Amino acid sequence: MDYDELVSHILKGDRRSAARLISLVEDEEEGYEKALKSLYPKTRGVPVLGVTGAPGVGKSTIVLEITKRLRSEGRRVGIVAVDPTSPITGGAILGDRIRMTELFADPGVFIRSMGSRGGSGGLSSQTGSAVRILDAMGCDQIIVETVGAGQTQVDIMGMADTIVVATMPGSGDEVQSIKAGLLEIADIYVVNKCDLPGAMRTVSDIQSMLDLVEDWEGWKPPVMQTNARESRGIDELVGNIRKHDEYARSSERLIKRKKEQYRREIQELVTREMARKAFSSIEEEELDRMLERILRREENPYSEAERIAARLFSGRKDIASRGQR
């Protein structure tokens, strides 16, 4: 694998090379960090939009509509979907996916799903790498879609300049679920499918939840209504996204958020680097005997894991020197 060539193709805007490198990152292919290291200084830090919410609220249609607006201005859009249920990357029923066809046909749009192959996790750092690859390739705006559940998803959203939390009219439960994990990260709330009964109720439920917070430090998240399938409310949404992007860049908000995200990403990278070496010091036979003791309930996995970790931390010379390349 000639990484230098791959990098130079990506910097010239070659989509296939970008796709290739993202796959190498996901597969943790030997040496992929080399490419990421040389790409990193070339990234421009283009705006990253995060769109999250429960399955079925219409996140993908919102992303589709926003992308159309950006394309009409001639901007190149990169979409990264970390969402097994996303029609954008083929995770949903056929009908939804057909509406996405126009996205796929547009050479100014790059679409990628993450998290469905290889690797023992590290999804947050892998998504971060994908965003940077698309930035270096020349995308003017990146959109990251996640399904709104789980700490990993919240972590991933941390790399966005602006985070849109989407919901739809329904039982009060929707608002409860927003409360649970997404309240602290949302910059803009969208009640999609606003033609359904109860939309105003959902808006006011979110509003009253927001009213409980005393200090918004300069930005109180607006609560908007959209009907993405009929393109309603999208211009206003794009307007608010830009307004927040500008606000975030002019305040400490973005730097704080980015720092937090890099901190997590580095932690993930360190962990993976160590995990890669975790079993290398153990003979296959020794491991097999250990597993058999565990299966016989003579030993437990927790104590064995501690023993291995302790051994790794005891500082074997060969491991230490390999880490210092």
Name the segment binding a second copy (CB under 8 A); options: 48-56, 61-69, 102-110, 232-240.
48-56
Choice between 104 and 220, CB closer to a second copy: 104
Binding residue (CB under 8 A) for a second copy from 158, 170, 221, 233: 170
Residues that contact a second copy, how many (by CB under 8 A): 86
Contact status, residue 178 vs residue 211, Cβ threshold 8 Å: no
Other Cβ atoms less than 10 A from the Cβ of 244: the count is 22
User: Residue 166 burial by CB count (10 A; 0-12/13-18/19+): exposed, middle or buried?
Assistant: buried
Closest C-alpha to 122, from 75, 83, 155: 155
How far is Cα 114 from Cα 81, in angstroms, rounded to an integer? 6
Residue 75 C-beta: closest distance to a second copy, Å: 22
Which CB, 138 or 170, lies closer to a second copy? Answer: 170
Asked whether position 255 contacts a second copy by CB under 8 A, the answer is yes
For a second copy, the closer CB: 12 or 293: 293
Name, in order, each residue with C-beta under 8 angstroms of 243's C-beta and a sequence gap of 6 or more. none
User: Which 210-249 residues touch a second copy, going by CB under 8 A?
Assistant: none
Side chain identity, residue 178: I
Nearer to a second copy, 235 or 255 (CB): 255
E strands, the chain, in order:
48-53, 77-82, 109-113, 141-147, 162-167, 188-191, 223-225
Restricted to residues 258-317, the positions that interact with a second copy (CB under 8 A) are: 258-259, 262-275, 277-279, 287-288, 291-292, 294-295, 297, 300-306, 308-310, 312-316
The reply on whether position 90 binds a second copy by CB under 8 A is yes
Tell me: does residue 151 bind a second copy (CB under 8 A). yes
Compose the 99-128 pattern: x for residues touching a second copy by CB under 8 A, - for all others: ----------------xxxxxxx---x--x
The stretch among 135-143, 148-156, 196-204, 237-245 that binds a second copy (CB under 8 A) is 148-156
Would you state the structure tokens that stand for residue 115, as one six-digit string?
A: 């998290």
Complex with a second copy: residue 78 or 122, whichever CB lies closer: 122
Q: How far, CA to CA in Å, does 319 sit from each of 32, 63, 101, 287, 296?
A: 20, 45, 49, 19, 32
Instruction: Tell me: does residue 11 bind a second copy (CB under 8 A).
Output: no
Query: With binding defined as CB under 8 A, does residue 198 bind a second copy?
Result: no
Q: Which residues contact 267 (CB under 8 A, 6 or more apart)?
A: none
Question: DSSP labels for 113-153?
Answer: E-SSSSSSS-HHHHHHHHHHHHHHHT-SEEEEEEES-SHHH
Nearer to a second copy, 72 or 296 (CB): 296
Q: Binding residue for a second copy (CB under 8 A) from 33, 106, 140, 236?
A: 33
Member of 149, 183, 210, 238 binding a second copy (CB under 8 A): 149
Task: Report the Cα–Cα distance between both ends of the chain, in Å, rounded.
Answer: 19
**Residue 183 touching a second copy (CB under 8 A):** no
